[in-house]
Amino acid sequence: MTQITANTAIEESLGARAWRWLRAINPVYLIALALLVWVGIRNPVFFQPDNFLTFLQRATPLMILTAGQVFVLVSGGFDLSVGSVVTSTVIIGAILANNDPGATWWVMLALLLGGLLVGLVNGAVTTFLKVPSLIATLGMLLVAKGVGLLWSGGAPRGYLPDNFRMWGRSGIEGLFGLQDFPYAVIVLVVFGVGYWLLLHRLNYGRQLLALGDNPRAARLSGVNVNLVRISAFVICSMTAVVAGVLLGGRGGVSIEAGTGLEMQSIAAAVLGGTMLLGGRGSIPAAMTGALALELLFTLLNLLGLPKPLRDAVQGLIIIAAVAYAAYSMRRTR
């Protein structure tokens, strides 16, 4: 009898540990896994290496854009300008390069400097003028898109040279025995690892999280609150430029290149557990949230849903993600 009781206690203990372990897993990983399996069932060739890498190539711009958005969100802000920065990157990049391979690198540098300027303005207006980031970046959304459309005359002009477009559509032949290993996936790994180190392993990340959790306490503990907040906007805007380079490389010149990406990146970050209004966030989980969104979009397409219905479903996902984040925030504060 004693032996039976002991065995039962051990089984209950193991069950409790397993339950605690499952509860500790961020739900976004389970959601992404479920969507991955579902897409694989609907499209059996999806998991072939070349096909899966092509999917990752398509998902990379949103994944790295979401990682950049996390820096602003955990600091306690929002950046609604990233979609327009992506669009302007594609439009202005095509005009400046105009299919000249020799112009690619200085054009990319100029675009990155433009992203730096946008981030500095967003950060300065939010930090020094005390304008809510939602309003400041909404204004920058209109400015960035307006500049791009004004410069192009409201229609795509110019062409992106091949050595510009290769980052979004080409790869290294024969790497790992694959037909074509996309440059975009390499960019994804570099940004994922780099941003993970920056937010989760370096002192800067601790300062950023402290700022988002309690700005007053962060200031009293010696954090340069103004510099850290502005730097978060700079990181986000420059990441949007990189996403624009990849999108332009893959899809060519379009005045709609970045439309909707601001809300998708925020929704993906929230799906990954990033708290609205700051204080908590994870780069791997946020990027997995972006991957889950891309898997969802792929699944809806495989199911043959018309585009208006797909857009409606995407909107509901975004609303649900933001509403859940707001509910969780009220429970924890």
The predicted structure's pLDDT at residue 277: 78
Identify the pLDDT of residue 134.
Answer: 93
| Beta carbons within 8 Å of 245's beta carbon, 6+ residues apart | 89, 93, 108, 111, 164, 167, 168
Nearest to 263 by CA among 86, 36, 29: 86
- Residue pointed to by tokens 């929002």: 78
Which of 4-8, 49-53, 89-93, 167-171 is least confident?
Answer: 4-8
Q: How confident is the model at residue 85 (pLDDT cuts 50, 70, 90)?
A: very high
Condensed to tens digits (0 to 9), the pLDDT of residues 305-325 reads 877 776 787 678 767 766 776
pLDDT at 299 over 80: yes
Q: Which of 74-78, 177-181, 247-251 has the least mean pLDDT?
A: 177-181
| pLDDT tens string 147-205 | 888 887 777 788 899 999 999 999 888 777 777 889 999 999 999 999 999 999 999 99
pLDDT level of residue 142 (50, 70, 90 thresholds): very high
Q: Is 162 left (phi over 0), alpha (psi -120 to 50) or beta?
A: alpha
Residue with the bigger pLDDT between 331 and 212: it is: 212
Contacts of 305 (CB under 8 A, 6+ apart): 313
Q: What is the pLDDT of residue 19?
A: 59
3-state secondary structure of 181: strand
In this prediction, residue 5 has a pLDDT band, given cuts at 50, 70 and 90, of low
Confidence of residue 330 (pLDDT cuts 50, 70, 90): low
For the ranges 18-22, 45-49, 175-179, which has the lowest average pLDDT?
Answer: 18-22
- Can you read off the two tokens belonging to residue 6? 């002991």
Position 21 confidence tier, pLDDT thresholds 50, 70, 90: low
Give the pLDDT of residue 305.
Answer: 80
**How many residues are recorded in the chain?**
333
Q: Whole-number mean pLDDT of the chain?
A: 88
Rounded Cα–Cα distance for residues 182 and 187 (Å):
9
Cβ neighbors of 180 (< 8 A, separation 6 or more) are: 50, 53, 170, 171, 172, 173
Backbone angles phi, psi at 53, to 5 degrees: -65, -35
For residues 84-106, average pLDDT = 93
Express as a percent the part of the chain with pLDDT over 70. 89
Domains of the chain are 34-332 (1.10.3470)
Whole-structure pTM value: 0.90
Amino acid at 123: G
Reading the block at residue 269, the tokens are: 């970050």
269 and 286 Cβ atoms separated by less than 8 Å? yes
Answer yes or no: is pLDDT of 271 > 90: no
pLDDT class of 11 with cuts at 50, 70, 90: low
> Which whole number is the average pLDDT over 257-283?
89
